[in-house]
């Protein structure tokens, strides 16, 4: 017997007050829905169906082939949403796990425990419940005196007495395919005039069918994100989980609450992360690095013993022992060699800086290839753009670029060559030569006196 998961993700999310479909709002850099897809896969679902409606095209893109997407053209309620999966499950005889698309904190293991419980109970339906300190907004689970679930009542349809119940519906259920015929009997007689999926529980009970209910040990992972406040809560929980797993892997995080790491980022042991650091996307950082404070690293790869302070590093590769910052900006396609240094107010775009080379102060390096042991003086600029296209600059091993040099590309500075400070270099400089391109200094003796400016 197999397990299929159906994720309900068609709703608009009116309370988000957004043009974007609710399930696409990012938590820790990824759409909420992708966390639910992970949880469904973690639960062991062999087939996953996403019910999309609002922003369906974007939802399909976010799903990216990880699930089959079916359409709910009009959002008439959660029961109606599940019904849209009927055709996709026509020949399916296994169990069906229903998940809300707006619950990014769900864990696969918890869903697996719930499914194991469902199998053991042998009931045709089961609902996953949790006890919330503040159950406001959630459907309440109403049980009889023997503890059997009778029905679920939505917050806005509940009586005063029902509102005092703290056990809530998490929106997670297990069913047999026979549920589809039950869904067709649900009517929208409630305050929202919607077809409520929780009504399936009441209908089954009224027909004398038993419904199992499993109260999860930890309520925290069933947060439904309906508004931006809950989005921020989800963000905080995911952030803590990710940072704690880094700490478990041997990373020092000086202030976990002020460290923002996307899931999937890899950091090696004995690396220290200082506050206000953002590590995002497909980033891999080696061991014994020193990262932050005030640093953003996105889609980049850093070796071991790298130091990055107050810097923005996007799509770059930084080798072992290199030092970046403070106030450096590495842009995509940049490769920094072992032990190299990029210092204050230096921007590097799509360039290679070789082993042990230094660009310590106030420079723009774009479309350049810099060899080993090169010293680039303060204020050096590669003039890589002529107004039409970009041109390359090559600086060979051991060259010394004097301060405040303009290198007008395309141009090449040969091995070991020197450039005089303040030069605008428009032609290649041969290896071992001095390139100097500035007007000679003239001193006018006694000029101040003659001008009467004493
Ligand atoms: C729902 C439950 C509530 C439960 C809570 C748990 C119902 C009627 N209520 O309330 O008992 O405590 O979740 O978080 O089910 N959706 C569709 N199509 C629709 C309507 C909704 O796909 O026509 C999707 C939404 O995109 C969302 C999910 O179903 O991902 C839940 O809908 P939502 O409107 O958030 O329900 P709640 O009011 O939170
Ligand atoms: Ca919800």
Q: What is the pLDDT of residues 59-84, one digit of tens each?
A: 999 999 999 999 999 999 999 999 99
pLDDT digits (tens, 9 = 90+) for 355-372: 999 999 999 999 999 999
Q: Closest ligand 1 atom, CA of 54?
A: 26
> Which residue's CA is the nearest one to ligand 1's atom 14?
224
Ligand 1 centroid–CA 197 distance in Å is 9
Question: Does position 201 have pLDDT exceeding 80, yes or no?
Answer: yes
Q: Closest ligand 1 atom, CA of 226?
A: 35
CB atoms within 10 A of CB 315: 18
- What does the pLDDT read at residue 49? 98
Please state the pTM of the whole predicted model. 0.93
Question: Does position 179 have pLDDT exceeding 80, yes or no?
Answer: yes
d(CA 319, CA 341): 11
Q: Which ligand is nearest to the CA of 154?
A: 1
Q: What mean pLDDT do residues 12-25 have? A: 95
Task: Answer yes or no: 361 catalytic.
Answer: yes
Question: Does position 248 have pLDDT exceeding 90, yes or no?
Answer: yes
pLDDT digits (tens, 9 = 90+) for 369-407: 999 999 999 999 999 999 999 999 999 999 999 999 999
Question: Does position 173 have pLDDT exceeding 80, yes or no?
Answer: yes
Residue 186's pLDDT band (boundaries 50, 70, 90)? very high
Q: Closest ligand 1 atom, CA of 139?
A: 11
Q: What mean pLDDT do residues 412-441 have? A: 98
Q: What mean pLDDT do residues 217-229 have? A: 96
pLDDT digits (tens, 9 = 90+) for 435-445: 999 999 999 99
> Which residue's CA is the nearest one to ligand 1's atom 22?
10
Residue 100's pLDDT band (boundaries 50, 70, 90)? very high
Ligand 1 centroid–CA 89 distance in Å is 21
d(CA 94, CA 360): 64
Q: Which residues line ligand 1 (CB under 6 A)?
A: 8-11, 22-23, 51, 53, 72, 75-78, 80-81, 100-102, 138-139, 152, 154, 168-171, 196-198, 224, 226
Q: Residue 402 contacts by C-beta under 8 Å, 6 or more apart in sequence?
A: 377, 418, 419, 420, 421, 422, 423
Question: Does position 113 have pLDDT exceeding 90, yes or no?
Answer: yes
What percent of the chain has a predicted confidence (pLDDT) above 70? 100
Question: Does position 453 have pLDDT exceeding 90, yes or no?
Answer: no
Residue 217's pLDDT band (boundaries 50, 70, 90)? very high
Question: Does position 1 have pLDDT exceeding 90, yes or no?
Answer: no
Q: What mean pLDDT do residues 40-47 have? A: 98
- What does the pLDDT read at residue 454? 79
The catalytic residue among 25, 80, 262, 361 is 361
- What does the pLDDT read at residue 411? 98
- What does the pLDDT read at residue 85? 98
The pLDDT mean for the chain works out to 97
Question: Does position 211 have pLDDT exceeding 80, yes or no?
Answer: yes
């Amino acid at each position: 017997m197999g397990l299929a998961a159906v994720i309900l993700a068609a709703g608009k999310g009116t309370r988000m007050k957004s043009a974007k479909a609710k399930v696409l709002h990012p938590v820790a850099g990824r759409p909420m829905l992708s966390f639910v897809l992970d949880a469904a896969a973690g639960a062991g679902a062999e087939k996953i169906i996403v019910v999309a409606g609002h922003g369906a095209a974007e939802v399909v893109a976010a799903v990216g082939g990880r699930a089959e997407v079916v359409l709910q053209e009009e959002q008439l309620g959660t029961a109606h949403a599940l019904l849209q999966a009927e055709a996709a499950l026509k020949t399916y005889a296994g169990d069906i796990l229903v998940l809300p698309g707006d619950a990014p904190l769900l864990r696969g293991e918890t869903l697996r425990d719930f499914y194991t419980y469902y199998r053991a109970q042998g009931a045709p339906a089961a609902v996953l419940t949790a006890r919330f300190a503040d159950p406001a907004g959630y459907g309440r689970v109403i049980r009889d005196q023997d503890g059997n679930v009778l029905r679920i009542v939505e917050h806005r349809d509940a009586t005063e007495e029902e509102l005092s119940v703290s056990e809530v519906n998490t929106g997670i259920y297990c069913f047999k395919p026979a549920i589809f015929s039950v869904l067709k009997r649900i009517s929208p007689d409630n305050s929202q005039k919607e077809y409520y999926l929780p009504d399936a529980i009441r209908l089954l009970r009224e027909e004398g069918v038993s419904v199992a209910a499993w109260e999860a040990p930890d309520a925290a992972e069933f947060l439904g994100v309906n508004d931006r406040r809950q989005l921020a809560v989800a963000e905080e929980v995911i952030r803590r989980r990710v940072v704690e797993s880094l700490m478990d892997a041997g990373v020092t995080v000086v202030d976990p609450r002020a460290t923002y790491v996307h899931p999937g980022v890899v950091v090696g042991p004995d690396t220290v992360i200082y506050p206000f650091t953002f590590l995002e996307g497909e980033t891999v950082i080696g061991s014994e690095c020193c990262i932050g404070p005030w640093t953003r690293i996105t889609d980049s790869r850093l070796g071991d013993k790298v130091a990055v302070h107050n810097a923005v590093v996007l799509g770059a590769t930084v080798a072992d022992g290199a030092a970046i910052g403070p106030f450096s900006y590495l842009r995509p396609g940049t490769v920094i060699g072992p032990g190299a240094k990029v210092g204050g107010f230096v921007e590097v775009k799509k360039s290679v800086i070789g082993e042990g080379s230094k660009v310590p102060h106030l420079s723009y390096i774009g479309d350049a290839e810099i060899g080993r042991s090169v010293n680039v003086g303060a204020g050096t600029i590669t003039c890589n753009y002529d107004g039409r296209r970009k041109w390359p600059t090559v600086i060979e091993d051991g060259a010394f670029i004097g301060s405040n040099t303009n290198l007008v590309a395309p141009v090449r500075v040969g091995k070991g060559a020197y450039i005089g400070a303040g030069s605008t270099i428009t032609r290649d400089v041969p290896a071992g030569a001095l390139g100097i391109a500035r007007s000679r200094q003239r001193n006018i003796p006694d000029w101040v006196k003659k001008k009467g400016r004493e």
